[in-house]
Amino acid sequence: KAGVTQTPRYLIKTRGQQVTLSCSPISGHRSVSWYQQTPGQGLQFLFEYFSETQRNKGNFPGRFSGRQFSNSRSEMNVSTLELGDSALYLCASSLAGAAQGYEQYFGPGTRLTVT
Amino acid sequence: DAKTTQPPSMDCAEGRAANLPCNHSTISGNEYVYWYRQIHSQGPQYIIHGLKNNETNEMASLIITEDRKSSTLILPHATLRDTAVYYCIVRVASTNKLIFGTGTLLAVQP
């Protein structure tokens, strides 16, 4: 079974631009979560989508948004990029709702560099 | 804030068991303990998780104390490829939200 895939793997953008990152979960997984990893702040939760609905949101500004499609694929968008948005963006997918205690599988990440 | 406390680093000799401790004294009754590891610049890799009982899979064993305030991840025969940052995470109840701490850098020595 194919793992979580993220595209693109690497991206360079300029301050003020916007960016869209894509995540394809493992087949059959309905939950997709997004995380930001930086050397200073570590791994931080951005948001989670389940059945096309945002279920949880971390403490990030409104410039960070996401959505999930009916096939469970998810995208996250960052508008008006800042230098501090340079990070590894990771998505993780899970089979179902949290109550069942399913494991979450991470993709390889998208390395975003803002210049 | 992370609900777990881990030592920042540990060493282990190749072929020996690696025992990684984690404290989660404020864990709630319906919160799971998850372990992940991350090799430099890769996505975190799921290892194991548990609620109350000890768990074992092909990668590791998870020992959870009876009061659930701490746990230990055991890698039975560490190899050089097990060198990574290991994260102990308490998953927020009724969500898939994982709050990562700073983890333990495990260095397996030849």
pLDDT in tens, A29-69: 999 999 999 988 889 999 999 989 998 899 999 999 999 99
Rounded to 5 degrees, φ, ψ at A83 are -55, -35
Report the DSSP pairing between strands B55-56 and B45-50. unpaired
Q: Coil, strand, or helix at residue A72? A: coil
- CA dist A67 and A48 (Å) reads 9
Chain A CA closest to residue B33:
A101
- DSSP letter (8 states) at residue A16: T
From B21's Cα to the closest Cα of chain A, the distance in A is 20
How large is the average pLDDT for residues A12-31?
96
Rounded to 5 degrees, φ, ψ at A21 are -110, 150
Q: What is the pLDDT of residue A99?
A: 55
pLDDT over threshold 90, residue A101: no
Those residues of chain A whose CB sits closer than 8 Å to some CB in chain B are: 4, 31, 33, 35, 42-45, 48, 50, 55-56, 58, 88, 90, 92, 94, 97-99, 101, 103-109, 111
Q: What is the pLDDT of residue B22?
A: 96
Tell me the pLDDT of chain B (110 aa) as tens digits.
668 999 999 999 999 999 999 999 988 888 889 999 999 878 999 999 998 989 999 999 999 999 999 999 999 999 999 999 999 998 876 777 888 888 999 999 99
Residue B39 tokens read as: 């090799």
Are residues B97 and A48, on separate chains, in Cβ contact within 8 Å? yes
For chain B, report the end-to-end CA distance as a whole number of angstroms.
35
Give the sheet arrangement for strand B61-64, strand by strand: B18-23, B70-75, B61-64, B55-56
Q: Which of A37, A44, A106 to mutate to test the interface with B (most CBs of B within 10 A)?
A: A106
Give B99's contacts (C-beta < 8 A, 6+ positions apart): A45, B1, B2, B3, B89, B90, B92
Are residues A56 and B97, on separate chains, in Cβ contact within 8 Å? yes
Are residues A108 and B49, on separate chains, in Cβ contact within 8 Å? no
Give B16's contacts (C-beta < 8 A, 6+ positions apart): B77, B78
- CA dist B13 and B4 (Å) reads 25
Give B58's contacts (C-beta < 8 A, 6+ positions apart): none
Name the E strands within B1-110: 9-13, 18-23, 33-38, 45-50, 55-56, 61-64, 70-75, 84-90, 104-109
Are residues B46 and A104, on separate chains, in Cβ contact within 8 Å? yes
- CA dist A52 and B88 (Å) reads 29
Chain B CA closest to residue A46:
B97
- CA dist B34 and B4 (Å) reads 11
Q: What is the pLDDT of residue B4?
A: 92
Those residues of chain B whose CB sits closer than 8 Å to some CB in chain A are: 32, 34, 36, 41-46, 49, 51, 87, 91-102
From A17's Cα to the closest Cα of chain B, the distance in A is 25
Residue A109: exposure state from Cβ atoms within 10 A (0-12, 13-18, ≥19): buried
Q: What is the pLDDT of residue B40?
A: 84
How large is the average pLDDT for residues A67-90?
97
Q: Which of B1, B31, B97, B99 to mutate to test the interface with A (most CBs of A within 10 A)?
A: B97
